[in-house]
């Protein structure tokens, strides 16, 4: 018996639980893609699966609705894979199912992200495609791969296959919010060369953990702590107070998730042990105080591994790394002057890695203004090249621009009012959505984005509201029926 068997809408939750049992992190979507293709075969539906693991499934219009304009539903297959620092170290996102549980009105995964973003979209579409009692126009359901690492699937998808010129993206995480615009983005990598020398002494690990983290688009305005940059600040804080050598540095798991954890390893002299440990404690107290209104579980500690030797960074190399972590722009760069409380441009230093030949920082840039996105990218390029490093730009995607007139938006707003007796919030979002790519490729397409309440996405605290899933499903069914008559 499944954990979600008693929840309604039953088939939506059935498919959502099926999805949580199939590993589907970014770059690992083949199994879930095959599952969707097999679903189409079993149900006698027309489908296309491409080499990028995108799947497009078509269902003919309901009887009597054949003359209605087609409607495209869209969501992505991949999820962000994050787990708690102290969670089962044998758990492997590549092969293990998620351990889901229910508490009150929420579904969550024990110790890991849930993948409600965007597994619930996949579940909605499969339940809709399966149900022959629903009144709807010809449907196209597009399941795209690797959205979380640069919208790779949508970038590669052949849009000439689409017959629809109106689209509902199901990748919003706030019920009652109808999105009509989203930011564009770019992922950049800064790489600084490194050199090593041998050192001996007392080896310590330094850990920063317990931060909230979150989605680097929708949560960037919360001013949450960035574990990677806090580690850089800690390394700078130690300079001049205690002599140390750095040989390990790693933090963050996704460029588009605010990093919650970072770890460094250093070599110090035996004479500095007490001073070193006192400085770590002092730094923790300072940071807890600074973030007292934002973070409630920050933990910064050191752990002695005893005497040993290691290949450590040269002093000049270490200085270059600390300089980068202390100076790279991070967080909000500019608010939107036309929309109150909406971020226009930001960056997130999501991943840091110290490797054999270079130190790497992977940054997610977002902006609803393409010129500002480019300017911030240029600033980062200037910074890394000034210290002798290299700059790599990839995963660039366009903004989804606001349209003054939208027939689909009017339909959705009317349906929401009639169902729930109140107005929805029609707004834009700083996060990037695949809508921008479709908007750029399919001229004149009419798009909106919606979804149920999902809290703390991209973190192990992620939870999906059961009642919100039900209400949003009713809204989707109402919209599809209304689309038949428009």
Evaluate if residue 233 carries a pLDDT over 90: yes
Q: Which two tokens stand for residue 130?
A: 């399966």
Residue 447 has φ and ψ, to the nearest 5°, of -130, 145
Q: Which of 310, 344, 378 is the last residue of a domain?
A: 344
Q: Kindly state whether residues 339 and 264 are assigned to the same domain.
A: yes
Q: What value does the CA radius of gyration of the chain take, rounded to a whole number of Å?
A: 24
329, 271: one domain: yes
C-alpha–C-alpha distance, residues 358 and 339, integer Å: 41
- Which region holds residue 201: left if phi is over 0, alpha if psi is between -120 and 50, else beta? left
Residue 395 lies in a domain: no
- In the chain, the N- to C-terminal Cα span, in Å, equals 42
Residues 164, 204, single domain; the answer is no
Rounded Cα gap, residues 177 and 426, in angstroms = 6
Residues 245 and 125 in one domain: no
Q: What pLDDT, on a 0 to 100 scale, did the predictor assign at position 64?
A: 93
Report the number of distinct structural domains present in the chain.
2
Q: Give phi and psi for 207, each to the nearest 5.
A: -125, 135
Is 428 among the domain residues? no
CATH, residue 168: 3.40.630.10
Residues 6+ apart with CB under 8 A from 183: 217, 343, 344, 366, 367, 368, 399, 429, 430, 431, 432, 436
Q: What is the pLDDT of residue 89?
A: 87
Residues 290 and 151 reside in one and the same domain = no
Are residues 143 and 250 part of one domain?
no
Q: What pLDDT, on the 0 to 100 scale, is given for residue 367?
A: 94
User: What's residue 436's pLDDT?
Assistant: 94
**3-state SS string for the chain:** CCCCCCCCCHHHHHHHHHHHCCCCECCCCHHHHHHHHHHHHHCCCEEEECCCCCEEEEECCCCCCCCCCCEEEEEECCECCCECCCCCCCCCCCCCCCCEEEECCEEEECCECCCHHHHHHHHHHHHHHHCCCCCCCCEEEEEECCHHHCCHHHHHCCHHHCCCCEEEECCCCCCCEEEEEEEEEEEEEEEEECCEEEEEEEEEEEEEECCCCEECCCCHHHCCCCHHHHHHHHHHHHCCCCCEEEEEEEECCCCCEECCCEEEEEEECHHHHHHHHHHHHHHHHHHHHHCCCCCCCCEEEEEEEEEEEEEEECHHHHHHHHHHHHHCCCEEEEECCCCCCCEEEEEEEEEEEECCCEEEEEEEEEECCHHHHHHHHHHHHHHHHHCCCEEEEEEEECCECCCCCCHHHHHHHHHHHHHHCCCCEEEEEEEECCHHHHHHHCCCCEEEECCCCEECCCCCCCEEEHHHHHHHHHHHHHHHHHHHHC
Residue 366, in any domain of the structure: no
- Tell me the C-alpha distance between 122 and 74, whole Å: 8
The answer to whether position 105 is within a domain reads yes
> CA–CA distance from 206 to each of 6, 203, 258, 259, 416 (Å)?
45, 10, 19, 16, 51
Strands 446-449 and 299-313: unpaired
Residue 404 pLDDT level (bands cut at 50, 70, 90): confident
Do 162 and 245 lie in one domain? The reply is: no
Nearest C-alpha neighbor of 208 from the set 262, 281, 280: 262
Question: Do residue 203 and residue 148 come from a single domain?
Answer: no
Which residues does 435 contact at the CB level (< 8 Å), separation at least 6? Answer: 167, 169, 179, 182, 400, 447, 449
In this structure, of 197-211, 238-252, 388-402, 413-427, the range with the lowest mean pLDDT score is 388-402
**Domain final residue, candidates 344, 376, 400:** 344
pLDDT at residue 341, rounded to an integer: 85
- Kindly tell me the burial class for residue 248, based on how many C-beta atoms sit within 10 Å of its own C-beta (0-12, 13-18, 19 or more): middle
Shared domain for 237 and 97, answered yes or no, is no
pLDDT bin (cut points 50, 70, 90) of residue 485 is confident
Is the entire prediction scored with pTM above 0.85?
Answer: no
pLDDT in tens, 327-345: 999 999 999 887 778 899 9
CA pair distance 102, 308, nearest whole angstrom: 47
The two structure tokens encoding residue 411 = 């339909």
**In CATH, what number is assigned to the domain containing residue 316?**
3.30.70.360
Mean pLDDT of 190-208: 98
329: in domain: yes
114 and 199 within one domain: no
Say whether the peptide bond before residue 9 is cis (omega within 30 degrees of 0): yes
Write out the two tokens for 330.
């991070």
Give the Cα separation of 68 and 135 in Å (integer).
11
Q: Tens digit of pLDDT for each residue in 287-314?
A: 999 999 999 999 999 999 999 999 999 9
Same domain flag for 135 and 216 = no
Residue 254 lies in a domain: yes
In a domain, 334, yes or no: yes
Q: Assess whether 37 and 170 both reside in one domain.
A: yes
208 is a domain residue: yes
Domain limits for position 462: 10-176+450-485
Neighbour-count burial of 371, counting CB atoms closer than 10 A to its CB (0-12 exposed, 13-18 middle, 19+ buried): exposed
344, 360, 389 - which closes a domain? 344
When mean pLDDT is compared across 102-111, 204-213, 299-308, 396-405, the lowest value belongs to 396-405
Q: What pLDDT is stored for residue 375 in this prediction?
A: 97
63-106: pLDDT as tens digits:
999 999 999 999 999 999 999 878 888 999 999 999 999 999 99
Return the pLDDT at 401: 85
């Amino acid at each position: 018996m499944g954990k979600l068997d008693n929840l309604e809408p039953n088939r939506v939750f059935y498919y959502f639980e099926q999805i949580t049992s199939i590993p589907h992190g970014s770059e690992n979507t083949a199994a879930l893609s095959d599952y969707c293709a097999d679903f189409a075969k079993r149900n006698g539906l027309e489908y296309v699966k491409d080499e990028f693991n995108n799947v497009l499934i078509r269902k003919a219009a309901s009887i009597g609705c054949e003359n209605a304009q087609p409607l495209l539903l869209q969501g992505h297959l991949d999820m962000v894979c994050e787990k708690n620092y102290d969670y089962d170290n044998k758990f492997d996102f590549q092969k293990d199912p998620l351990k889901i549980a229910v508490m009150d009105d929420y579904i969550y995964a024990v110790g890991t992200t849930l993948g409600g973003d965007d597994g619930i979209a996949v579940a909605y579409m499969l339940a809709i495609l399966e149900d022959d009692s629903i009144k709807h126009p010809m449907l196209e359901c597009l399941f795209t791969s690797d959205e979380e690492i640069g919208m790779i699937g949508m970038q590669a998808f052949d849009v000439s296959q689409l017959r629809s010129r109106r689209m509902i993206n199901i990748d919003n995480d706030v019920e009652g919010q109808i999105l009509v615009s989203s930011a564009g983005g770019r992922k950049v990598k800064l790489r600084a060369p490194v050199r090593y020398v041998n050192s001996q002494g007392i080896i310590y690990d330094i850990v920063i953990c317990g931060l909230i983290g979150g989605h680097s688009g929708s949560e960037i305005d919360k001013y949450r702590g960035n574990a990677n940059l806090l580690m850089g600040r800690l390394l700078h804080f130690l300079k001049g107070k205690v002599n140390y050598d750095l040989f390990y540095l790693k933090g963050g798991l996704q460029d588009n998730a605010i990093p919650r954890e970072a770890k460094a390893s250093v070599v110090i002299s035996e004479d500095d042990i007490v001073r070193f440990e006192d400085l770590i404690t002092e730094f923790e107290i300072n940071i807890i105080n600074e973030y007292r209104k934002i973070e409630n579980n920050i933990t910064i500690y050191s752990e002695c591994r005893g005497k040993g030797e290691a290949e450590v960074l040269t002093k000049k190399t270490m200085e270059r790394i600390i300089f980068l972590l202390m100076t790279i722009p991070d967080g909000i760069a500019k608010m939107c002057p036309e929309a109150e409380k909406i971020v226009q441009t930001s960056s997130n230093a999501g991943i840091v890695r110290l490797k054999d030949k270079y130190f790497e920082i992977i940054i997610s840039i977002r902006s609803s203004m393409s010129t500002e996105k480019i300017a911030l990218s240029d600033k980062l390029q200037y910074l890394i090249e000034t210290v002798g490093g290299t700059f790599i730009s990839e995963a660039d995607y366009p903004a989804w621009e606001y349209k003054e007139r939208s027939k689909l938006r009017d339909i959705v707003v009317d349906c929401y009012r009639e169902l729930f007796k109140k107005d929805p919030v029609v707004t834009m979002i700083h996060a990037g959505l695949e809508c921008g790519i479709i908007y750029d490729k399919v001229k004149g397409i009419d798009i909106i984005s919606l979804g149920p309440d999902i809290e703390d996405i991209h973190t192990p605290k992620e939870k999906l509201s059961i009642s919100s899933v039900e209400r949003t499903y009713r809204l989707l069914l109402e919209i599809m029926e209304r689309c038949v008559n428009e």
